[in-house]
Amino acid sequence: GESVGLHLPTLSVQEGDNSIINCAYSNSASDYFIWYKQESGKGPQFIIDIRSNMDKRQGQRVTVLLNKTVKHLSLQIAATQPGDSAVYFCAEDLGSQGNLIFGKGTKLSVKP
């Protein structure tokens, strides 16, 4: 179930370390952002979201940071586990019709 693009960025981390996955979004008018996780052979799974009126939001082991000045989004995963190995996509919502624009994705590999 490959879901990667031809030049998919790859991040390799040691189990237990923290991971940071970055995403540059395209439209300054976007007002909602989501991170999805896609494991091999499965559909994208919602992880965490953030509205444009926030710059940080925390979930369980995950934190999303939003920097609107430079149109940058990041996903931080604490104490990365082998089960976190997947492709991670950021998505932005332009707010007009509810369309999500997906990034190309980053492949996270966790070494035991």
Partner 1 sequence: DAGVIQSPRHEVTEMGQEVTLRCKPISGHNSLFWYRQTMMRGLELLIYFNNNVPIDDSGMPEDRFSAKMPNASFSTLKIQPSEPRDSAVYFCASRDIGFTQYFGPGTRLTVL
Token pair 């996780």 is found at 37
Residue (83 or 98) nearer to partner 1, CB: 98
Interface with partner 1, residue 99, by CB under 8 A: yes
Tokens at 61, concatenated: 């082991």
Query: What residues contact 98, with CB distance under 8 A and at least 6 apart?
Result: none
β partners of residue 69? none
Interface with partner 1, residue 32, by CB under 8 A: yes
Interface with partner 1, residue 89, by CB under 8 A: yes
Interface with partner 1, residue 46, by CB under 8 A: yes
Q: Do residues 5 and 59 lie in contact, with contact meaning Cβ atoms separated by under 8 Å?
A: no
Per CB under 8 A, the list member of 12, 45, 58, 109 interacting with partner 1 is 45
Interface with partner 1, residue 93, by CB under 8 A: yes
We find the least distance from the C-beta atom of residue 57 to partner 1, in angstroms, to be 13
DSSP, collapsed to helix, strand or coil, labels residue 76 as strand
Q: Do residues 85 and 108 lie in contact, with contact meaning Cβ atoms separated by under 8 Å?
A: yes
Q: Which residues bind partner 1 (CB under 8 A)?
A: 1-6, 32, 34, 36, 42-46, 49, 89, 93, 97-100, 102, 104-105
